[in-house]
Amino acid sequence: MVFWTIGVGEEVDLKVVLPFEIPEGMHIYYWKEVDGELIPINYSISEDRKTVVFRLKDGVLDEDGVANGVIVDPLKFYIPDQR
């Protein structure tokens, strides 16, 4: 995903709305590799447990690594079968 209509160095909230509730006790893991280290990315889950919000910042942990008004972030979801 690419955000390109933001100010240089700006933070944005990426909201992902799911078609189901995230079960209580289920965790979401989102990591970025920086200089060979995995860094966890903070997120929040809405009260209805259907929306995940990630806070991203241009130039910090985005793939191009440059504060240039563009956030490049290949977000991927893996949702295990809960049956």
- What residue segments make up the domains of the chain, in order of their start? 2-72
**b/e burial code for range 43-56 (CB count within 10 A of at least 16 → b):** bebeeeeeebebeb
Strands 51-57 and 71-72: unpaired
Question: Which tens digits make up the pLDDT trace of 63-83?
Answer: 888 999 888 887 776 666 666
Question: Which tens digits make up the pLDDT trace of 6-53?
Answer: 899 998 888 999 998 988 888 777 887 777 888 888 889 999 999 999
The CATH architecture assigned to 2-72 reads Sandwich (2.60)
pLDDT of residue 82: 62
Per the model's pLDDT, the better-predicted residue between 77 and 54 turns out to be 54
pTM beyond cutoff 0.75: no
Distance CA 31, CA 8 (A): 23
